Chains A and B, each alone.
Chain A
Amino acid sequence: DSGVTQTPKHLITATGQRVTLRCSPRSGDLSVYWYQQSLDQGLQFLIQYYNGEERAKGNILERFSAQQFPDLHSELNLSSLELGDSALYFCASSGTGVGETQYFGPGTRLLVL
Chain B
Amino acid sequence: ILNVEQSPQSLHVQEGDSTNFTCSFPSSNFYALHWYRWETAKSPEALFVMTLNGDEKKKGRISATLNTKEGYSYLYIKGSQPEDSATYLCALSGYSSASKIIFGSGTRLSIRP
Interface centre among A2, A55, A98 (most CB of B within 10 A): A98
Please indicate the chain B residues that have their CB under 8 angstroms from the CB of A90 in the complex.
43-44
Interface centre among B43, B49, B100, B106 (most CB of A within 10 A): B43
B31 touches A106 (CB 8 A): no
Interface footprint category on B: 20 to 34
**Interface-facing stretch out of A10-18, A43-51, A75-83:** A43-51
State how many residues of chain A have any CB contact under 8 Å with chain B.
25
Contact with B along A40-75 (1 / 0, CB 8 A): 001101001010000110100000000000000000
Q: How far is the CB of B56 from chain A (nearest CB, A)?
A: 17
Q: Determine whether B103 belongs to the interface, using a CB cutoff of 8 Å to chain A.
A: yes
Additional A-B contacts beyond A98-B99, A102-B46, A105-B43 (19; CB < 8 A): A2-B43, A2-B45, A33-B101, A42-B103, A43-B103, A45-B102, A48-B100, A56-B99, A90-B43, A97-B97, A98-B32, A98-B94, A98-B97, A99-B51, A100-B49, A101-B46, A102-B34, A104-B43, A104-B44
A: residues with CB less than 8 A from B are 2, 31, 33, 42-43, 45, 48, 50, 55-56, 58, 90, 92, 96-107
